[in-house]
Every structure is written in structure tokens, then in C-alpha cells.
Amino acid sequence: MGDAKLRDRRYSPFMARDERGVTPQGEDFSAWYNELVAKAQLVDRGPAKGTMVIRPYGYRLWELLQGELDRRIKDTGHENAYFPLLIPESYLRREAEHVEGFSPELAVVTHAGGKELEEPLVVRPTSETIIGEMMAKWVSSHRDLPLLLNQWANVVRWELRPRMFLRTTEFLWQEGHTAHADEADAMRETMLALDLYTEVARDIAAIPVVPGEKTAGERFAGAVRTFTIEGMMRDGKALQAGTSHYMGTNFAKAFEIQYTSEAGRLELCHTTSWGMSTRMIGGVIMTHGDDKGLVLPPRLAPYQVVIVPIGRGEQGEQTLSAARDLAVRLKAVGVRAHVDDRPQLSPGFRFNDWELRGVPVRLELGPRDLESGTVVMVRRLGDEGKQTISLASAAENMPDVLEAFQAFLLKRATDFRHAHTTTVDTWDSFTDAVTSGWASALHCGNPACENDIKAKIAATPRCVPLDAAQETGSCVHCGAPSAYGKRVIFGRSY
Ligand SMILES: [Zn+2]
């Protein structure tokens, strides 16, 4: 392969203008997403089916999210630990529902060290079993409780229809696992984790999620109760962005996680588990992105501000030097700033590039701006348009500009969700509502009725919202008396 071809391949995303854009959302949302994650340099495909290479820009996004979540997990008394990737297959069999739920997705190691293993090892799909085994060893008295653990890890669930970030064979997450003396304490923990997720989604990712409980048919394999946060994507579909499970004593029975109570009796622990994963990044992309590309909330943006110096030759050197100086001042006030030092590319091309990559604020600095002591500020979205601001005060004002942009994104997403959620009482209006968004409907709670709905219109109950008003009546599909005492959100989902 000649040099020219190599260079061509390497630079093609920058050189071929027409190939830079993405398919409009309205034309094909799924194509928009698939093209964007690649062109914004978040991910690349791994060689094994369904695997994902997370590139530095995408990984930085994950690190920022992880940092926010990790701090909250620690602040609420949990400790990080690490458990093995390989789990004896027999462990999974100990909890019948758990193994049934995960079997189709398991990757199993049968050979190692050049021979067949006596007992196959499962590559962890989740760690309830191995952590349960360890908890049983570590808990003996009521004084050992609660035991509050968290693990940051990768997990493997064999994926037949992979989508980057949303469904990949291997993904990154945190999994909280806790053991408690009784149901009340374990339920407090389950709801605490759900609150952490709601807060991180809303305040950091600017995704106005709805916290609620899953119906029996949508519960985690082996859980007594499953809670979720559901976000609405810009195609109207739902994304489950984090879940928290109360396991009752199911895993405690299977793994003999027991303690001696104050009264001297041997009791089973009540356990919980909860997880949030790299799927959240898919949620950020689909909640805020538009036809120009990504739109990143400032609190998660690898670069919150990009400065584009303009000009060639000596003028170019002057604006570049002023841009670097401004970046230093921005960093000093805590802003993640980046200077686009690519004079070989046209300003217009670079503007489009940073729009595609979702940078919240772009500062354009040309020779004339430098002369007049100004800089042109462009927000990634909103009505403000281009604004000429003072170069001297650009840095000190930037944290406020970023906060306002963060708030703007949350409000925009909240308005969108409200506009695409319909309260419905008839089957016709139900089917209309789930074609473009969510339906808030009364439902009988019967799993067979849920399945009928799913078969007819591909919509599933996303959650029974925690804060919904009390209401009863008849099921929107079968007419039987409603369950739950409130409305259920239905939608198509990822
Ligand atoms: Zn029904």
C-alpha cells in the first residue's frame, strides 16, 4: 500500500467533507446513531462480534460519569472491591431463576492451560453469585451488617444484535452488592441506589429520567423487586439507564449468607444489587444529539470549550498564542478547554468537526478579534447564536455559561419528554402514543396481557412511576380491573 493510500485512510474523516455529516435523525434514527458514534470518534468495532473498542474521546466521557457516580457511591458508605472475572458454572445454578435468566447470554470457558477443565468457568455476566459466596464467608454476626460493596468491572453477555454502548457483548459498569439484617434496611438501600442513579442521570447527564418499579414480567432474574430509571430518547423510545434490585433472601438462601441476630438466632440476610453501565453514554447521545452530531452536557464533555484560532502565517501564530493563553486561563477556573491546533484545516471544517463531536461552547479567535480584544462565542445549541464577548473576561464568565447550557439541555429534554408522553384510556390512542413516544395507561398487571401488547405493537411496560398519582380503572388493553393503583408507562425501548 502506497503512502498516499495510507494517508488517505488515516485522514479520510477530515478530508472528505461529504463523508463527515450524518444521516438526519428524521430519515433514519438508527443510521444516525451508528454513523455518529463512529464519526465522533467515541468507539470502533472490536474484532469479535458485538465487542466495542472505546476510543479516548468516548472513554473520557465514561471516566467523567464514573467519577461522579463513584464519589456518590463512596459518600453513601459503600466500599469498592474487586471479584474474579471467572466464576465456577455451578455457582450460577444455585439460584434457579438467575441461571435461567442468564443462560442464553453466557460465555463459558471449557478449556484452559491446554486441557479441558473439570468444571467450566463462566465469564461473569453479573456478580451476584461470586459475591454472594464471599458474603457468606464474611458475614457471621449482626455486627457485620450492613455489608456495602461496589465493584467497577467489565461483564460479558453474548449479544446477537449488538449496538454500540446500548447492547455490546462486553460492557463496563459498576455493580453494587449489599447485605442487610432485614427487609426494611435492604429496601432503604435499594431506593438509595435508585436515588443516586436518578441524580446522576438528571444533574450530570441532563437526562430527566423517570424512576419507577418494573412489573413482574420485566424483573431481574432472581429479584423480588426491580426498580429502574427510564429516559426518553429523541426517537421517542425508552432507555433503561440503571436498575436497582431487592433480592429478598433468594441469594442468601442459595449461598447461605446468614448472621446471628442479637437474640442469638441464625437469620438469612436480605440482599440488593444495582448497576449502571456504559449504556448511559448511548443515553446521552440519543437524549441530546441532533442532525449536526453529538450535543454533550458540559458536566460530561471531555472538552467543555474548544478554542479555534484562525489565520495563516504570522497572524495564525498570534491567534494560536492568544488561544493557548486563553486555554490556560479557562483551565485555571476549572473549565476543560482545548485548543484546535490544526491550521491546515479550514475554519469552517473545524467548526463542523467540533459540532459533530458535541462540544458545548466554541470560541473562534481571528486576527480582527485579537485586535479588538474580543472573541466569538458559539454555543452548540440554543437561540443565542454567535456572540462577540470580551477576550479579557471570557474565562471568568465561562463557568456560568456552561452551567446555563447544562440547565438548558435538561429543560429541553424534559419538555421533549412531556410533549411525547400521552395519557391514554383507549387502545387506539395507546397505539398512537407508543409510535412516537410513551403512553401513560392503566394496566391489569397480567403478564399474558403484557405479552399480547408486546406482540401487537412492540411496546412494553417501562415502569410504574414512583411519583404517579393514585388512580384505578380498567386495563387499556383487556379491560380487566387495573393493578398497581396508578398508571404505568409503556413504550418501545432499546
Ligand atoms: Zn390487561
Q: What is the Cα–Cα distance from 379 to 386, expressed in whole angstroms?
A: 8
CA of 443 to the centre of ligand 1 (A): 5
193-207 burial code (b ≥16 CB/10 A, e <16): bbebbbebbbebbbb
CA of 446 to the centre of ligand 1 (A): 6
CA of 491 to the centre of ligand 1 (A): 16
CA of 211 to the centre of ligand 1 (A): 23
Cell of 8: 488517505
Q: What is the Cα–Cα distance from 430 to 439, expressed in whole angstroms?
A: 6
Residue with cell 464519526: 39
Q: What is the mean pLDDT of residues 90-94?
A: 90
Closest C-alpha to 365, from 350, 377, 356, 349: 377
Q: What is the Cα–Cα distance from 397 to 377, expressed in whole angstroms?
A: 12
Residue 20: what pLDDT?
67
CA of 482 to the centre of ligand 1 (A): 8
CA of 453 to the centre of ligand 1 (A): 9
Beta carbons of 87 and 126 less than 8 angstroms apart: no
CA of 466 to the centre of ligand 1 (A): 21
To the nearest 10°, the Cα dihedral for 91, 93, 98, 104?
110
Residue 15: what pLDDT?
39
* pLDDT range class, residue 384, cuts 50, 70, 90: confident
CA of 434 to the centre of ligand 1 (A): 16
CA of 103 to the centre of ligand 1 (A): 30
CA of 39 to the centre of ligand 1 (A): 44
Beta carbons of 135 and 271 less than 8 angstroms apart: yes
More confident residue, 96 or 122: 122
State the Rg of the chain over Cα.
Answer: 25
Q: What is the Cα–Cα distance from 358 to 363, expressed in whole angstroms?
A: 14
CA of 442 to the centre of ligand 1 (A): 9
Strands 337-339 and 305-309: parallel
Q: What is the mean pLDDT of residues 272-281?
A: 98
Residue 187 reports pLDDT greater than 50:
yes
Provide the total of helices (H) and of strands (E) in the chain, helices listed first. 15, 23
Closest C-alpha to 124, from 163, 171, 161: 171
CA of 470 to the centre of ligand 1 (A): 18
CA of 480 to the centre of ligand 1 (A): 6
CA of 458 to the centre of ligand 1 (A): 15
Q: What is the mean pLDDT of residues 469-485?
A: 97
| DSSP string for 377-412 | EEESSSS--EEEEETTTHHHHHHHHHHHHHHHHHHH
Residue 337: what pLDDT?
98
CA of 478 to the centre of ligand 1 (A): 4
CA of 464 to the centre of ligand 1 (A): 15
Q: What is the Cα–Cα distance from 478 to 494, expressed in whole angstroms?
A: 25
CA of 447 to the centre of ligand 1 (A): 8
CA of 481 to the centre of ligand 1 (A): 8
Q: What is the Cα–Cα distance from 126 to 175, expressed in whole angstroms?
A: 8
CA of 423 to the centre of ligand 1 (A): 16
Average pLDDT, the chain: 94
CA of 276 to the centre of ligand 1 (A): 31
CA of 234 to the centre of ligand 1 (A): 28
Q: What is the Cα–Cα distance from 16 to 12, expressed in whole angstroms?
A: 6
Name the H helices within 333-477: 347-356, 367-372, 394-419, 427-436, 447-457
Beta carbons of 128 and 160 less than 8 angstroms apart: no
Strands 438-441 and 421-423: parallel
Residue 389: what pLDDT?
97
CA of 429 to the centre of ligand 1 (A): 15
CA of 321 to the centre of ligand 1 (A): 67
Amino acid at 457: I
Q: What is the Cα–Cα distance from 148 to 55, expressed in whole angstroms?
A: 32
* Segment 419-459, tens digit of pLDDT: 999 999 999 999 999 999 999 999 999 999 999 999 999 99
Residue 3: what pLDDT?
44
Residue 472 reports pLDDT greater than 90:
yes
Phi/psi at 337 (nearest 5 deg)? -110, 150
CA of 475 to the centre of ligand 1 (A): 5
CA of 474 to the centre of ligand 1 (A): 8
CA of 242 to the centre of ligand 1 (A): 27
Residue 11 reports pLDDT greater than 90:
no
Q: What are the residues facing 446 on neighbouring strands?
A: none
CA of 236 to the centre of ligand 1 (A): 23
Q: What percent of the chain has pLDDT over 90?
A: 90
Residue 326 reports pLDDT greater than 80:
yes
CA of 455 to the centre of ligand 1 (A): 13
* pLDDT range class, residue 95, cuts 50, 70, 90: confident
Q: Which strands sit side by side in the sheet containing 460-465, from one edge to the other? A: 79-80, 147-156, 170-180, 270-277, 238-248, 225-232, 210-213, 460-465, 488-491, 438-441, 421-423
CA of 435 to the centre of ligand 1 (A): 19
Cell of 162: 449488538
Q: What is the mean pLDDT of residues 478-487?
A: 97
Q: What is the Cα–Cα distance from 366 to 380, expressed in whole angstroms?
A: 19
CA distances from 436 to 26, 232, 432, 490 (A): 12, 11, 7, 12
Closest C-alpha to 286, from 32, 459, 49, 14: 32
Q: What is the mean pLDDT of residues 288-307?
A: 98
CA of 452 to the centre of ligand 1 (A): 9
* Segment 100-148, tens digit of pLDDT: 888 889 999 999 999 999 999 999 999 999 999 999 999 999 999 999 9
CA of 110 to the centre of ligand 1 (A): 45
Residue 10 reports pLDDT greater than 80:
no
CA of 450 to the centre of ligand 1 (A): 7
CA of 486 to the centre of ligand 1 (A): 14
More confident residue, 18 or 293: 293
Q: Residue count of the chain, please give it.
A: 494
Q: What is the mean pLDDT of residues 150-174?
A: 96
Residue 284: what pLDDT?
98
CA distances from 376 to 55, 114, 309, 310, 488 (A): 30, 64, 11, 11, 47
